[in-house]
Structure 1
Amino acid sequence: QVPFTVLQGEGVEYLGHANDAVIAISNYRLHIKFKDSVINVPLRMMESVECRDMFQLHIVCKDSKVIRYLCHFSTFKQCQEWLKRLTRAIARPAKPEDLFAFAYHAWCLGVCVDEEDQHAHLCRPGDHVRYRFEMELVRMGFDLQNVWRVSDINNNYKLCSSYPQKLLVPVWITDKELENVASFRSWKRIPVVVYRHVRNGAVIARCSQPEISWWGWRNADDEYLVTSIAKACALNPGVKAAGGVQHSGGSDGSEPCDTDFDSSLTACSGVENAGTPQKLLILDARSYTAAVANRAKGGGCECEEYYPNCEVVFMGMANIHSIRNSFQYLRAVCSQVPDPSNWLSALESTKWLQHLSVMLKAAVLVSSAVDREGRPVLVHCSDGWDRTPQIVALAKILLDPYYRTMEGFQVLVESDWLDFGHKFGDRCGHQEKVEDQNEQCPVFLQWLDAVHQLLKQFPCLFEFNEAFLV
C-alpha cells in the first residue's frame, strides 16, 4: 500500500521495503516511511544521489539540505537497484512536459476533477493573478491618459521572447522607437517601468546592458527613452508632490490599508516638490571592471556624458559562477559536523553572507533613492534576468507593504521573476537535456535568503514567516 496520499496526476512508479522503512518513488517525490518518522523529498529538489557505506543512500538537495543515511538496505545489490531508480527519476527531463507540474496542472483542470477538490483551486487563479498587470497599474496610480501607456509591441513575444507581452513606457515613446532601442539592448530587453511610488511618483525601471562594444556605439532612441522616464515621473507626481490629500479609503476604494500610508521599510517621507525631473539613477549590478570587460563581448554600460541628468552607480555584485561556488562551499560547511571553534570563520570563508550583504545594499540604495529622494531608478546587470530581479524585487518589498502579504508576494514573484524571463529551467537544473552545469546557480534561492534576512529583522511587517518561503 502506498504510504502517502497521492496528488492529482501523481503516480507511484516504485514501491518496496528497506530494512527499517517503506520506500516509494513517484513521478513527483521520494517518500520513505520509518516507524516514527517520514522523509518526503520532491524529485526536482534533488541534485545528486549516491551509495554510502555499501548499504545506505546519500542525497544532496538543491536547497542545501544533505540527507545522510537515508535508509538501510539488507544487501548491496538492493541498494544499487534503488540507487539506479532514483538516478533515473531525478535525471533531466527529455521535454518540459515530463515535469510533474504539467501533469498536476492538467489533472487539476480536467473535467473529471471535483470542483471541491482541495487542489483544484490552485490551478484556477484569482483576479490578482489573471489581471495582476492591470490591477498593479491602478494600485500604483499610473496616469495612463497623459503620461504613461501600455505598449503591445511585444504581443506574442515578437519583440523580446523573455519579456512580458505588455510593456509600460512614457506615452510619447513610439513603438518604432522601442524597436530601435531593442536593437541596442542585450537580448532586446529594453528599459520598461515596473513600479511607481504612490506618494512621490518616482519609478523603478529595468532592462539589460546596452551594447556599447569597444566601438562605443550610441543609440539616440535609447538615450531618449531613459531620460523620458525621468520626465514622466515629474509629469505624474505622487499624492504629496502634487499637493493632494491622502484618501481615507484604500487604493481600490475599499477600507484603508498599509499601502495607503507611509509604511515602507525605508521609513522616510517622500519629496514635496514636483515639476523638475529628478536625476535618474542607473544602478548597474556589476562592478565597473566587469561592465567594461563586457564591452569585449559587445556589451558595456551607459556613459553619463550621453545620458543627461543621469547618474551611473556600480554595485559589484558577483556573477552566477561565483554565487554557485559560494553556495557549494556553504553546503559543504553546513553538511559537516559543526566545530564551534571555527564555525564562524568557515561560514565567512564561503562568502555567502557577503554576497547577501551586497544584494541588500543594492536594494536599499534603490529604495532610498525612490522613497527618500524621489528619484527614478533604472536597474540592470548584463542580461537583466539574474541580479536585476534580485535587486528590483527586494527593493519593492522594502518600499511597498503589499508585497509583504501572501497575495502580494505571489504577484511579485510572478511579475518580476516569471514574466521577465528568469531562467528557472537553467538555474535550477530543470531544463531538458542540458548538461552544462555552468548555467546552474541558486539565484532565486539566494534572493529568498535575502527576504529571510528581512523577515528576521522585521517579523511584524510581513504577513508570512519562514515556513511560507520554503
Structure 2
Amino acid sequence: MTPPRPPSGRQRPLRYYSDSERTEGGSGSWDTLEWNKLDSQQTASGSSSTSFANLSCLLESERVIVEGYGVVLINTDEAGTLLVTNFRILFLSEGTRKVIPLGTIPLATIEKFNKTALKVQSNNRQSDKNPPRRLLQVTGKDMRIIVYGFRPKTKQRRSVFDALLRCTKPERVWDLYTFACGPSKFGNANPKERLLNEYFRLLGKSSLRASMDMIEDGSFTLENELWRISDLNSNYNLCQTYPFAFMVPKSISDEELLQACSFRAKCRLPVITWCQPGSGAVIARSSQPLVGLMMNMRSNFDEKLVAAFCTQLGANKGERRKLYIADARPRKNALANGAMGGGSESSSNYFQSPIVFFGIDNIHAMRESYSRLRDYLDMHGATSSDGRSSFLRHTGWTWGGGNLSSMSASVSLLGDSGWLIHIQNVLAGAAWIAARVAVESAWFLCTAVMDGTEQLSSFLLHA
C-alpha cells in the first residue's frame, strides 16, 4: 500500500516562521472561505463579549476578554471563532461553537507567542499586490505550536495579541484567574497571613492564626526551641526576592544575619524552606557563597549560621546531626562561577558537611534540550508539535514496519536531545534527598538557587 503523499503547501513546521518572514506556501482552505458569510454571521451574533457570556464551556468566573471572528486554525485548516478569556485561549468551530481541543490552550501553559506573516502563491500577475496572511503563532509548554490565521484588513490579530500580553503578564497578581475562581481553599487569600500560618505550623503552634494586626505591629516573630521567625526583611530591604518574614535558627541574631547575608549572592542567606516537626529534619535554601576565583574567601557569620542548622533536640542533644550541602549544578559550573565571584562551599569550613553535586544543567541548556526534544517529536512522534500527523509529514511511519534503521535513528535523536538525562538528574536528586531525610532525618542546605534547585525543591515539597 502506497502511503499518502504529504501536502505540498508546507515543507517545514510552522514553528520556523519568524516575526518578519513572508514565506511562500499553500493557503489551505483560506481561499475557499466565504468571508461575506462569516461577516454576516458576526453581525447576526453580535460583536460584544456578552454574546459568549452563557457558553456552557466557560468555567466559574471565566470571562471573555476579546473575540476574533472568521479565524482559521492553520494546523487543521478549520474556520471558527477565537476567544481570549482570563484563563485560556478558546477556539470554537464555526456554526456549532464546539471547542476545538488543538486550538484551545490555558494561558499559564503558553511559553511564547508572536505575530508572523505568510505570503500565498498565486498564478495571477497581480499576486504581489495580495496582502500576506496575518498569523498568530502560539508555542505551548506542552510542545504544541498553534497557528491562527486572521482576516486581512482587520485589527483582530492586534486585539488578540494585546489581550494576550495583558492576560499572560498582568500588572497585579490578583488579576490572575486563580484568584478570581471562587473562595480560596485556605479560607484566607492574603499571602502574608497564609505564610505566617505555615510558619506557625512548622513551629508547632498551629493553634495560632495570623492576622493583619499581627503583621502591622510585628508580633508575629514567634519561636520554639530551635527556630524563630525573623522580620528583618519586613520592608524587603534585605533581599527583594525573599518574603517579608522567614525562619532561621533561634541562636542566630538579626545582627549576625545581616553580616552573613553579604557573603551570599543577592543576599539570599540560608533560610528554612521546610522542617519536620517530629524528627526535626530541615531543608533550607540559599544562593551560592561568594568564595571567589581561588575559592578561599570565608565568612565566620555564614559558617556560624549554617552550623546552627545542625542543633539537635532531646536525648541526643549535643550530638550534631549530619548536614548535607546540596548543589544542583554540575561541579564544573560551580567552579566556573568562581571567576565571577561565586562558587561553592568547602566541606572543611562547614563542619565537615559533604557537598553533593547533582549535575543539573542551567536554564539555557534545558531550553536547548527541550527544543531538540520538540524536533524529535516533529519527526518521529505520532503527532508533531503543530498538530499534523507524522505519517503525512514524512510519507510513512517512522516507527514500525520493520524499519530497524529508522528506529535506531529515532532512538539516537532522542538520546542526542539530552532531555532524558536532565529528567533523570532531577528525579534522582530529589529521590536521594528525600531518602536521606526519611532514613537519617538529615539536614539539607540546597545552595545556588538556580533553576535546578527550584526543581529539586518542588519535587521534595510535593512528595
| In the alignment, structure 1 residue 149 sits paired with structure 2 residue 228 | yes
List per-residue Cα deviations over 1:286-320 (Å, max 9, x = no partner): 12211111111111111122112311111111001
Q: Could you tell me the percent identity over the aligned residues?
A: 28
1:157 positional shift: 1.2
| In the alignment, structure 1 residue 374 sits paired with structure 2 residue 441 | yes
How far apart in 2 are the matches of 1:358 and 1:179? 34
Residue matched to 1:395: 460
Residue matched to 2:362: 319
Query: Does the residue aligned with 2:104 lie in a helix, a strand or coil?
Result: strand
Calculate the aligned-residue CA RMSD, in Å.
3.5
Letter in 2 for 1:32: F
Query: Does the residue aligned with 2:446 lie in a helix, a strand or coil?
Result: strand
How far apart in 1 are the matches of 2:275 and 2:59? 43
Letter in 2 for 1:295: G
Change (3 A) 1:379 1:40: same
Bigger Rg, structure 1 or 2: 2
List per-residue Cα deviations over 1:120-165 (Å, max 9, x = no partner): 4259853896644444345445593322111111112121110112
Say which structure is richer in strand.
2
Letter in 2 for 1:160: C
| In the alignment, structure 1 residue 47 sits paired with structure 2 residue 112 | yes
| In the alignment, structure 1 residue 121 sits paired with structure 2 residue 183 | yes
Letter in 1 for 2:143: K
Aligned residues of 2:336 and 2:343 also touching (Cα < 8 A): yes
**Which of 143, 161, 168 pairs up with 2:247?**
168
Change (3 A) 1:146 1:140: closer
Residue matched to 2:308: 228
Query: Does the residue aligned with 2:356 lie in a helix, a strand or coil?
Result: strand
1:174 positional shift: 0.3
Residue matched to 1:187: 266
Change (3 A) 1:68 1:40: closer
Residue matched to 2:82: 24
Change (3 A) 1:327 1:316: same
Change (3 A) 1:95 1:367: closer
Residue matched to 1:419: none
| In the alignment, structure 1 residue 210 sits paired with structure 2 residue 289 | yes
How far apart in 1 are the matches of 2:136 and 2:272? 46
Aligned residues of 1:52 and 1:58 also touching (Cα < 8 A): no
Aligned residues of 2:260 and 2:299 also touching (Cα < 8 A): yes
Letter in 1 for 2:69: G
How far apart in 1 are the matches of 2:418 and 2:107? 29
List per-residue Cα deviations over 1:170-212 (Å, max 9, x = no partner): 1110000000111110010001112223442121111000011
Residue matched to 1:254: none
**Which of 430, 447, 450 pairs up with 1:363?**
430
1:389 positional shift: 2.2
* Equivalenced residues, count: 343
Aligned residues of 2:248 and 2:271 also touching (Cα < 8 A): yes
Report the TM-score when normalising by structure 1: 0.63
1:70 positional shift: 4.8
How far apart in 2 are the matches of 1:56 and 1:349? 36
Aligned residues of 1:207 and 1:378 also touching (Cα < 8 A): yes
How far apart in 2 are the matches of 1:353 and 1:184? 35
Residue matched to 2:24: none
Alignment of structure 1 residues 33-182 onto 2, 5 Å: 33-34=92-93, 35=96, 36-38=98-100, 39-42=103-106, 45=110, 47-49=112-114, 50-51=116-117, 54=120, 57=135, 59-68=137-146, 70=148, 77=152, 82-91=156-165, 96-97=170-171, 102=175, 108=180, 119-122=181-184, 125-126=187-188, 131-140=193-202, 144-182=223-261
How far apart in 1 are the matches of 2:324 and 2:173? 43
Query: Does the residue aligned with 1:308 lie in a helix, a strand or coil?
Result: coil
Query: Does the residue aligned with 1:209 lie in a helix, a strand or coil?
Result: coil
Aligned residues of 1:154 and 1:160 also touching (Cα < 8 A): yes
Aligned residues of 2:303 and 2:350 also touching (Cα < 8 A): yes
Letter in 2 for 1:33: L
Letter in 1 for 2:104: N
| In the alignment, structure 1 residue 279 sits paired with structure 2 residue 309 | no
1:322 positional shift: 0.2
Aligned residues of 1:211 and 1:300 also touching (Cα < 8 A): yes
How far apart in 2 are the matches of 1:336 and 1:58? 23
Residue matched to 1:200: 279
Aligned residues of 2:136 and 2:157 also touching (Cα < 8 A): no
Query: Does the residue aligned with 2:235 lie in a helix, a strand or coil?
Result: helix
How far apart in 2 are the matches of 1:95 and 1:321? 22
Query: Does the residue aligned with 2:329 lie in a helix, a strand or coil?
Result: coil
Change (3 A) 1:10 1:396: closer
Aligned residues of 1:105 and 1:123 also touching (Cα < 8 A): no
Residue matched to 1:467: none
Residue matched to 1:457: none
| In the alignment, structure 1 residue 334 sits paired with structure 2 residue 377 | yes
Aligned residues of 2:247 and 2:272 also touching (Cα < 8 A): yes
1:356 positional shift: 1.1
How far apart in 1 are the matches of 2:317 and 2:186? 43
How far apart in 2 are the matches of 1:103 and 1:312? 40
Structure 1 unmatched ranges of 5 or more = 109-118, 243-272, 399-470
Change (3 A) 1:159 1:32: same
Letter in 2 for 1:391: L
